[in-house]
Amino acid sequence: MKIVIAIEPATATTAFGVAVPDLPGCFSAGDTYDQAISNVKESISLWYETVGCIPQLRTLEECRMDSEYAGWELIEVDVEGW
């Protein structure tokens, strides 16, 4: 299953931030782009273990219209076990 994640660019003093628009409270970070994506996949798994259900997921295009993530990169990632 694919889910949309939003990646906030890193700066000289901050790591990459990652949020999952359709999973309230699910976020992560990483010092590198790849580490941020890997870390958020673990956060998604933990979120699912805690909540136990899959909410209605929006498409990538629907998430791109969400002004909360303006300036962030939005991509889809594969999530195993859903």
Global model pTM greater than 0.75? yes
The residues with which 3 forms a beta bridge, in sequence order, are: 77
Pairwise CA distance, residues 79 & 77, whole Å? 6
Q: Domains for the chain: give ranges and CATH numbers.
A: 2-75 (3.30.160.250)
Query: If you search the block for the tokens 């309230």, which residue do you land on?
Result: 24
Nearest 5°: phi and psi at 68?
-60, -25
Instruction: Report pLDDT digits (tens) over 21-75.
Output: 999 999 999 999 999 999 999 999 999 999 999 899 999 999 999 999 999 999 9
Query: If you search the block for the tokens 């990646």, which residue do you land on?
Result: 7
Is 76 a residue whose pLDDT tops 90? Answer: yes
Q: How confident is the model at residue 81 (pLDDT cuts 50, 70, 90)?
A: low
Instruction: Write out the H or E segment, with its range, that includes residue 50.
Output: helix 33-51
